[in-house]
Amino acid sequence: MRKLIVSEFVSLDGVMEAPGGEPGYAHSGWVGDFMGPEQLQYKLNEVREAEALVMSVLRERGHPLTERDLPQEMQRAHRLGYTSKDKTEGMRQALLHYRAVMVRMVGPEDRAQREQRRRELA
């Protein structure tokens, strides 16, 4: 069994929404004043690990890995994750694009299989 690591921004009073300043949330942007270069690097490393995982799946399935041959979601995710001016929002969007590539390559998770795994873990 593999280790699952969850990394989230949570304030002491329990606010989790929109830490990077995403529009449309009541408590948006609360982490910006407290985020130093170490935390930003940690989050960027998470994006890089997600990209490496997706690239390994593409490679295993024989997809060409040159930049021009990569799926549009991969190209967009890379740009968002590495060059977005709004760092945390860009990283969040990059992860969503990586997920879209995985769903397309591997397929959506079957609800029955997910329930079976839950029962096995319980």
- Its domain, for residue 59, covers 36-121
Does residue 5 form part of some domain? no
CB 25 within 8 A of CB 18: yes
At 38-56, the pLDDT tens digits run 888 888 888 898 899 888 8
Does residue 116 form part of some domain? yes
Enter the pTM of the model: 0.67
Does residue 1 form part of some domain? no
Does residue 26 form part of some domain? no
Does residue 2 form part of some domain? no
At 99-115, the pLDDT tens digits run 888 888 877 767 777 77
Q: What Å distances lie between residue 75 and 65, 98, 99, 102, CA to CA?
A: 11, 10, 13, 14
Number of domains, the chain: 1
